Amino acid sequence: MGNKSEVNVALVADIKTLNEVVVTGYGAQSKRDITGAIATVSTRELLSVPATNVAQALQGHVAGVSVGNENSPGGGVIVRIRGFGTLNDNSPLYIIDGVPTKGNLNTINQNDIESLQVLKDAAAASQYGARAGNGVVIITTKKGKAGKPKLTYDAYYGVQQRGKLLDLLNTQQYADLWWESRINSGVLVNGNPRNAQFGNGPRPVIPDYIFPDGAMNGDPRVDPANYSTDIDAADFRRSKWLITKANKEGTNWMEEIFNPAPIQNHQLGVSGGTEGGRYAISLNYFNQEGIMKYTGYKRYSARANTEFNINKRVRIGENIQVAYAERIGGPFSTRGIASNQSESNAVSFAYRMQPIVPVYDIAGNFAGTKGGDLDNARNPVSDLYRNRTNINKEIRLFGNAYAEVDLAKNLTARTSFGIDYNLFNVRVYTPRDFESSESAGTNQLQTRNDYEGTWTWTNTLNYKTTLFDKLRLSAILGTESIRNYYEFVNAVRSRFASDDINNQYLAAGNAGTQTNDGSATYWRLASEFAVANLSFDEKYLLSGTLRRDRSSRFAPDFRIAYFPAVSAGWRISEENFLKNTASGWLSDLKLRASWGQTGNQEIGNFNPYTFYGTSPANSFYDLNGSRTSALQGYDLFQFGNAQAKWETTTQTDFGFDASLLKGKVDVNFDWFNRVTTDALFPVELPFTAGNATNPFRNIASFRNRGVELNLSYNGKALNNELTYTLSGNISTYRNTVLTTNGDPNTQYFGFATRLPAMTVTQEGYPISAFYGYTIDGINNTPEQAASGPIWRGYNNVVTYRQANGTGVVGAGTFRYRDLNGDGLITPADRGIIGSPHPDFSYGLNINVNYKNFGLQLFGQGVQGNQLFNYVRYWTDFPTFGGNRSLRMYEQSWRPGADNSNAMLPIVRAADNVSSVPSTYYLESGSYLRMRNIQLSYNLPRTLMNKMGMSAAQVYIQGQNLFTITKYTGMDPEINVRNSQGAVSGNTGTTAGQNQDRQIGVDEGLYPVARTVLVGLSLSF
């Protein structure tokens, strides 16, 4: 970091001054000398919103940075800087006290953070080369300062509430809609619909019991003596049942899976020292129970940062944190019940369960879908309850030790050795869900242990000098070596004699059912870099960077890459033609320009090589014909691509920083053009090549072009007793796929669900554009249906019958747009129908202080993006079983009705077409959310002195109190699916890797919580 004493002064300087020194990479610069696009987030902003993950604090505070939250306790966070430059991994690189990581930040205690900078353009980020293609976030933790010991205690406690829920049907509404769908489709028995629960009459009859099917009070089968949970017995369903009463009013499954939940945080810190040695030590406890029942995250952490002056020329120090965390929920849960964006999670089952099913049966056990015509969803409350003891455990040791030596005047050598060690333990026990229609055949335990270790050795020479009293020069030469190793072992056994928690160990399972697997992987990176900064006469600024990287993830011929960058600044306010007039309104004005290149190596660790592996299911063969044993064989596991080369992002940036009205107004503006070439993506190979993992290939180029604006105003009133700051930021980017494989019609699709892929990446359009059919309304008459394009078997068949039995053709069907003009609706009529990328994003912040009181308001939002509400597939169409939306009940097209406000086609049980991906699923994703409202009070100085305190503050705070949006789903903040990626983030399958091919799709998300809390902050 160069001259350490200067850095120490910088980190405690007034953030409102131009002389503030910020960490810009391997060194630090005065803010007035920075020529790149670097944003700083203050400690106050970092701590203003209670969060598990420090990356959440970036949301709305930094122009050009978008954040997606998984919302569940301990869930993943997706950060994107200046758009989406690749189909692969768009996650930024994090540098914490000089140690790089792309792993999760949940174990990093945000109360320990002193400063945070975001390096947005290539000129600022290129010094990190191969891993900086998506921007860099630099985090510096708190250091001790010379002086008497200082003891601090910070704490808050609050209650979280769920927000908006879906409007679903009650039991009678569901039965009526089910009856209507069968009548319209002509699916009748004895002239009426037939349902195992609702009978076979002209109208549905709500039974008293759903198991036995459709039973009424007085039926001898519902005698409690006939209750049994032995679903494998021969007399089950004959004389024994899981006797379950019908919920005639209807179970609100959405309400059942959510509960108010507490959140709390406690931080104890002590710091101090002398000129010869300084220390900062902290202990932290964080506990967030989830608003979804039986989910939560708990973290214990300890940090010790020390530094010592051995003599006038030698300094040593370390920054170490150890953390232990437990999480209940996420992808490692009972049958994925607590995962995010999944059709098998609790949210999805809450709208897939019929309202007639109660939570519990007559014996107090969990009720389910064992009865007839109840579909195949599982009771989400039961799955969440059974998952409550499946705890994901993590231990992480993160930090570095360093030494600095002043070799000569202005020349400092520094060496730093950083570590990032992670241990994971996951135990997922799955009991039999005997109440479900598709019960698990047996109970099962999966135990998985992961180890990951990464070390980083960085060596730098830092030279600073001033020539001719006007020319300031600083230069850094450095080398860096990184090595990562990851290994896991996984074992499974079934048929446990008891589900008791004390029996949930592998040895208690049936040995004949055991399976196991394990693997290891590693990668290495070696780098050299040089950084130079020039300042002449405090007006003319020039910076240059060059980095060379060698990555083990590429074949030897393509292993080396160079990443240059250059930037310049002109403090035009210091010129004579402005300086003489600047005293009135212009305090400072700096023009900036930069160009540079960065890279992306996130392609897995062994992409160049073809792999063969072994597995009993695919490569064991009974060559001897014994039918009792098989010989181990090998088959293709992964295709290799030795021609893959670096993905490179080239970025140009023009901007200015201005301070007006004697520092009252600050303005920061940037225009950027970011182009990614040779983008890496695992392109599918022809099936004739075999069945194996596809390799990454250089297949495309992308462009993100946009602007960023930050404004702030600082004012005073009432004889300076009232101070206030008004600030805001707005940013926009336009994402375009410039090329793919040379064919403009080439399409790279997103993920298929129950529907075909609804996103596509194609030349001339943005990444992950929505793809499907365009709906131009509803055919109200047979004539209207016949006059338009025909979808065979859909709008040219009878859709309902009149009272006299006459069939009506095509009425009540969607009218799809015929893109190719052939008069037919076929897959060729699918096209780009929308975009998940917003027109702009913004954040608004108001801070007001009056005497001892403080008020902070923070809002954040996006405008102009669209969302694909896949939840509508389940709730708005009869394609798959489950509950239905009130929208389907009230706004479906009906014969003879006023259909001017109809949104949905006629309800028909046989309709498997209306639910195809189309514009019906698209909704506005725009929103404005009140992120934070905080009212604080600082105790009077006289009272604090009597209590021996140097500072004391109490506050009450509301988080996410309201959201303004037109989105009909639960939450407009849609994260990418599977945001946590692998168990760990540095293994080559980092968080969010390969997930940006499907953006803005709501598959059943964990909603954001509304929180009210009280807190205090004490210093002694």
Residue 723's SS3 state is strand
| Top-confidence range, 20-29, 148-157, 977-986 | 148-157
What is the distance, to the nearest Å, from the Cα of residue 93 to the centroid of all Cα atoms in its chain? 15
Q: How many Cβ atoms from other residues are within 10 Å of residue 115's Cβ?
A: 22
* pLDDT of 324 above 70: yes
Residue 919 token pair: 């514009």
pLDDT digits (tens, 9 = 90+) for 586-645: 889 999 999 999 998 888 899 999 988 887 777 787 777 777 777 888 888 888 999 999
Residue 225's SS3 state is helix
* pLDDT of 1 above 60: no
Do 125 and 653 meet the contact criterion of CB atoms below 8 Å apart? no
Which of 229-243, 330-344, 369-383, 531-545 comes out lowest in average pLDDT? Answer: 330-344
Strands 853-863 and 866-869: unpaired
Determine the residue type at 918: S
Selected residue with higher pLDDT from 88 and 755: 755
> What whole-number distance in Å separates Cα of residue 57 and Cα of residue 108?
13
Contacts of 689 (CB under 8 A, 6+ apart): 639
What's the pTM?
Answer: 0.93
Kind and range of the H or E element at 545?
Answer: strand 540-551
CA distances from 392 to 101, 296, 297, 428, 490 (A): 21, 10, 9, 9, 14
Which of 70-74, 276-280, 892-896, 990-994 comes out lowest in average pLDDT? Answer: 990-994
Provide the H-helix boundaries in 744-800. Answer: 782-787
Instruction: Please give the radius of gyration of the chain, using alpha carbons only, rounded to the nearest integer.
Output: 31
Over residues 186-209, mean pLDDT? 96
Strands 99-101 and 28-30: unpaired
Number of helices and strands in the chain (H, E): 13, 47
Contacts of 334 (CB under 8 A, 6+ apart): 383, 386, 387, 390, 428, 429, 430, 431
Which of 49-58, 71-80, 86-95, 201-210 comes out lowest in average pLDDT? Answer: 49-58
DSSP state letters, 577-636: HHHTTTTTSEEEEEEEEEEEEEEE--S-S-TTS-EEE--HHHH-B-TT--SS--B---EE
**Model pLDDT, residue 8:** 37
Tell the burial category of 18 from Cβ atoms under 10 Å away from its Cβ (0-12, 13-18, 19+). Answer: middle
Average pLDDT taken over every residue of the chain: 91
Strands 807-809 and 392-408: unpaired
| Residue found under tokens 């599977």 | 978
Residue 733 token pair: 């980017």
> What whole-number distance in Å separates Cα of residue 306 and Cα of residue 313?
17
Q: Confidence band (pLDDT; 50, 70, 90) for 975?
A: confident
- Report the candidate in 435, 156, 162 with the shortest Cα–Cα distance to residue 293: 162
Q: How many Cβ atoms from other residues are within 10 Å of residue 340's Cβ?
A: 26
Over residues 779-796, mean pLDDT? 96
> What whole-number distance in Å separates Cα of residue 79 and Cα of residue 60?
12
Determine the residue type at 393: K
**Model pLDDT, residue 583:** 58
Q: How many Cβ atoms from other residues are within 10 Å of residue 67's Cβ?
A: 21
Kind and range of the H or E element at 181?
Answer: helix 171-185
